[in-house]
Amino acid sequence: MGFKYRITSDDELYFLTMTVVDWIDVFTRKELCLDLLLSLNYCQQHKGLKIYSWCLMPSHLHLVVSVEPGPNTLSDVMRDFKKFTSKKIVSSIKEIAESRREWLLRHFAYAGKFNPKIKEYQFWQEGLHPIELKTFKFIEQKINYIHNNPVEAGMVYRAEDYVWSSAAQYAGEYNPLLTVLVIEDVGTMLRGL
């Protein structure tokens, strides 16, 4: 991974993307989506993760995040999140009524064979593809990109209709799935980081 795609500061906002190996559509089951959101919620409550925008697509997760000052760096939080969710989601796939169970597990096991850091299953692709967000225009662009992802994919007509996203919160609607720090005035928010 080149310097361009590293988390270099815990004082900035970052746009992150986590992708399932080979872009497999795993997050088509409500149970698996909720596993992931509960893990994000845990990171918010116990590790200082601050989420400004998010969207969970069938094969990947987009976030705009930062971390509270303290013992956990953003890199640490996201490393732990990916490690935990890999195990949790694979475990859930084994337990729920998933018609593709054997195929998915075989695929994740095969991907894990080629990564010396993986013991059995590789769920996420390597890296987070972090992009530091320093300007209002760039933050706004990434939040709009995140929220319009389901619209561009033809999944919904309006971004705020997609339940696995913070778009409804930005439209002034209620979404109880995940607490988000809605950025109403990015300039003020940037000065407060």
Return per-residue pLDDT of the chain as tens, 193 residues: 444 567 767 778 999 999 999 999 999 999 999 999 999 999 999 999 999 999 999 999 999 999 998 888 999 999 999 999 999 999 999 998 888 999 999 999 998 888 888 889 999 999 889 999 988 889 999 999 999 999 999 999 999 999 999 999 999 898 889 999 988 754 445 445 4
**Domain 3-192, classified CATH 3.30.70.1290, yes or no:** yes
Q: How far is it, in rounded angstroms, from Cα 102 to Cα 100?
A: 6
Residue keyed to tokens 């990947």? 60
Q: Which amino acid is at 178?
A: L
DSSP 13: E
How big is the CA angle at 168 (ends 163 and 171), to the nearest 5 degrees? 165
pTM: 0.90
Pick from 95, 20, 102, 89: nearest CA to 61: 20
Q: Which amino acid is at 184?
A: E
